[in-house]
Amino acid sequence: MIRWICGFTLKERKNAEHRDLLGLEPVSLVIKKGRLRWFRHVKCKDNADWVKHCMTIQVEGPRLAIYLMKTWWNGVKEDMKSFGLSREDA
């Protein structure tokens, strides 16, 4: 079954056109906003809370190459930079 929207079939449109037509944001933007919302939630917690402590914990010992992957905190820093935000803006 092929649906017609605004004179075009759904197969003739690209994903970005579908998002614009439906008023949706790109998935990557939704993920960035969610990550920043969670950062704000954690930042507002009490300093003694274990979740806030885990955000700044430093693990001692040698780091293997497999552990040099992107972390949640690195993602938050990149998201803040892409939106032009600082830690205080949260």
| Calpha distance 33→40 (Å, rounded) | 11
Long-range contacts of 19-24 (CB under 8 A, 24+ apart): none
Q: Where are the domains of the chain?
A: 27-89
Best CA proximity match to 79, nearest among 70, 14, 20: 70
The one-letter code for the residue type at 60 is E
What pLDDT digit, counting tens, does each position of 61-89 carry? 776 666 566 778 888 888 999 989 888 87
Q: Could you report the per-residue pLDDT of 8-58, keeping only the tens digit for each?
A: 555 666 777 878 888 888 888 899 999 999 988 888 888 888 888 877 777
Q: How many CB atoms within 10 Å of residue 42?
A: 15
Q: What is the pLDDT of residue 1?
A: 47
